[in-house]
């Protein structure tokens, strides 16, 4: 497994805005990518990561909502789709590994019905609610080139991007 660099809005916005393509086959190469993504996500640390965040424009997501409390619960999603979303929404303070240090409230459906292929290419259909629902909607957005700051007002979004850029300059 290899740690991969995570793209951020200050240098890699054009890549992050790309729409990712469906995966044709879940094979060993794809599983190696998912293994790398999980390791990268754990090291960051984060609770979800989309392939485009490591520069790979494929519809692949990894997630672990355990956040280091108790045993790891890695989840893998290939070609995930939201089949149904509740009309009821809930605000949640989100962050993103590609938008470091920025947190803001986004409204998401409280419950969604998901369909995806798992690590072994098996089709899964399941309901998600709570943090799981919020996180999968955030990650599927990534596959469509949408960042959580795109759900904020233009003013807040511009402020977030310039804050990340300024922080990057300080570190460099």
C-alpha to C-alpha distances, 24 to 18, 30, 90, 121, 155, nearest whole angstrom: 18, 10, 34, 10, 39
Which region among 4-12, 37-45, 89-97, 149-157 touches Ni ion (by CB under 5 A)?
89-97
Please name every residue paired with 76 in a beta bridge, in sequence order, or none if there are none. 62
C-alpha to C-alpha distances, 164 to 44, 117, 139, 159, 171, nearest whole angstrom: 16, 34, 20, 9, 11
Quick one: 70 or 135, whose CB is closer to Ni ion? 135
- For residue 99, the minimal CB distance to Ni ion (Å) is 7
Q: Does 96 bind Ni ion (CB under 5 A)?
A: yes
Which region among 20-28, 35-43, 94-102, 152-160 touches Ni ion (by CB under 5 A)?
94-102
**Beta carbons of 103 and 92 less than 8 angstroms apart:** no
Size of the site for Ni ion (CB under 5 A): 1
- For residue 41, the minimal CB distance to Ni ion (Å) is 10
Quick one: 117 or 135, whose CB is closer to Ni ion? 135
Quick one: 122 or 157, whose CB is closer to Ni ion? 157
Q: Does 106 bind Ni ion (CB under 5 A)?
A: no
The residue with tokens 């072994």 is: 120
Q: What would the two tokens of residue 96 be?
A: 């993103």
Quick one: 34 or 96, whose CB is closer to Ni ion? 96
Q: Does 140 bind Ni ion (CB under 5 A)?
A: no
Helices (H), 44-153: 130-143
**Residues of this chain that bind Ni ion (CB under 5 A):** 96
């Amino acid at each position: 497994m290899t740690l991969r660099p995570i793209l951020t809005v200050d240098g890699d916005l054009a890549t992050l805005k790309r729409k990712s393509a469906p995966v044709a086959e879940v094979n060993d190469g794809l599983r190696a990518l998912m293994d790398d993504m999980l390791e990268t996500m754990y090291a960051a640390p984060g609770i979800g990561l989309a392939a485009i965040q490591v520069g790979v424009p494929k519809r692949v997501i990894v997630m672990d909502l355990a956040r280091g409390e108790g045993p790891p619960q890695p989840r893998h999603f290939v070609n995930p789709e939201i089949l149904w979303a509740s009309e009821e929404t809930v605000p949640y303070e989100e962050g993103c590994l590609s938008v470091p240090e920025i947190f803001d409230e986004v409204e998401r459906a409280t419950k969604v019905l998901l369909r995806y292929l798992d690590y072994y290419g098996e089709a899964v259909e399941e309901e998600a609610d709570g943090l799981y629902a919020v996180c999968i909607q955030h990650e599927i957005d990534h596959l469509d080139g949408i960042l959580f700051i795109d759900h904020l007002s233009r003013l807040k979004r511009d402020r977030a991007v310039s804050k990340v850029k300024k922080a990057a300059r300080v570190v460099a």
